[in-house]
Amino acid sequence: MIKLGTVFSGIEAIEQALERLNINYELEFACDNGDINIDINYEKEMKKIRKMKSIKEKKEYVDNLYFTNTRKHNFVKDAYLANYSVKDNNFFYDVKLLDGTDFKNKVDLFVGGSPCQSFSIAGARGGFEDARGTLFYDFARLVKEIQPRMFIYENVYGVLTHDKGNTWKVMQNIFGELGYYYKWAILNAKDYGIPQSRRRLYVVGFKNKKDGEKFEFPSPQKLKYTMQDFLVENNKEGNLVNKNGKLIITEKVGEEPEEKYYLSEKLKKYVLCPGTKNFMHHDAEIDLPIARALLSTQGNSHRASVNNYVTTNGKIRALTVRETYRLMGFPDSFKIVVSKAQALKQSGNSIVVDVLIAILKNVEFIGGKNGKN
């Protein structure tokens, strides 16, 4: 039985990975504030929380802080409770107010991917204490407090060059200070079974050096599927129509085209050029980023999972919500209980399940044997 703890939990790719691997696990805690910021004195509040006696009391206090300081609703929690057997008392709001000492030595696997933030530490050494106030600091603090057997940390690969390399330098200093044996790699989802080009940084840390020495990042695998294999069949949403000589993508076929997405001259040529019509779905190497780059020439900047286009039957359309989940490795049994905009945001934020599966398969104490199973 693997004891799991997660922060920045989102739609919890790691639970999908464990379920698909048939690994028994128990969730100690999940934590996601639904991207809602509240204006409180964190240091003062955390001091109060640390003095409280039970986890229940602490959780109720933080829930109440959110309740009294914002009217915004936590849609991540809705998605979470609809899909996982977690009880409300295991779902925490804010990583900055989570007391890891309550879970000390109770977690085997600790997983989280904080948003990428700069550390403003000019002149400082750039270690653990200098990173205070960032969400990464809280991830590291929780590793220190909880002492999990293993952690997986995920972030965008741009973190390596972010702030002229300073962000990654500080992160490495901090990972080093934790006393964990860690390895890192940039893995692309298209190398682990999913036809989506999505590169991410993965840091895998082990409390025992022996566990760590046995671990290798998984080698790239040949892609068996194309994007086309993941599309909803006979989908009629979001077709491309020609209105007064302008190409427009509509949300629903048959409806008066909403002038939502205009295609640039460049993309128009690309789409209409015989032979290159199906420009995205046969090769993961040339999928989503091309459409994004072309569309961005129109000032239509990319938002995760939103401005992604595919062609079916020679027509260009946006991915459906379900397709974005499939392309993150989520089965169709995953219940989508939030609005389209929220659902797209949540799938766009997720870790690709199949990459986590490939990583876990190489962790011996979780049941993997360096890719041999």
Ligand X SMILES: C[S@@+](CC[C@H](N)C(=O)[O-])C[C@H]1O[C@@H](n2cnc3c(N)ncnc32)[C@H](O)[C@@H]1O
- How many binding residues for ligand X (CB under 6 A)? 20
Range in contact with ligand X (rule: CB under 6 A) among 27-35, 57-65, 261-269, 314-322: 27-35
Residue 327: how many other CB atoms lie within 10 Å: 24
Any idea which residue has 């330098």 for tokens?
169
Q: Give the type of residue at 92.
A: F
List 35, 63, 102, 283, residue binding ligand X (CB under 6 A):
35
Which is closer to ligand X, CB of 76 or CB of 227? 76
Sign of CA dihedral 282, 283, 289, 293: negative
Which is closer to ligand X, CB of 307 or CB of 349? 349
Determine, following the binding rule CB under 6 A, whether residue 353 of this chain makes contact with ligand X. no
Residue 191: how many other CB atoms lie within 10 Å: 19
Q: With residue 311 as reference, give the H or E element that holds it.
A: strand 309-312
Q: What are the strands, taking DSSP E only, across 136-252?
A: 150-156, 181-188, 199-206, 240-243, 246-249
Determine, following the binding rule CB under 6 A, whether residue 99 of this chain makes contact with ligand X. no
Catalytic residue among 7, 18, 27, 116: 116
List 62, 76, 321, 336, residue binding ligand X (CB under 6 A):
76
List 3, 4, 5, 10, residue binding ligand X (CB under 6 A):
10
List 4, 11, 107, 201, residue binding ligand X (CB under 6 A):
11
Which is closer to ligand X, CB of 97 or CB of 240? 97
Q: Is 116 designated active site?
A: yes
Single out the residue of 327, 126, 114, 107 nearest to residue 203, CA to CA. 114
Determine, following the binding rule CB under 6 A, whether residue 351 of this chain makes contact with ligand X. yes
Token pair of 308, please?
A: 């992604």
List 5, 18, 34, 168, residue binding ligand X (CB under 6 A):
34
Single out the residue of 304, 302, 296 nearest to residue 348, CA to CA. 304
Binding site for ligand X (CB under 6 A): 8, 10-13, 31-35, 76, 94-96, 113, 115, 135, 349-351
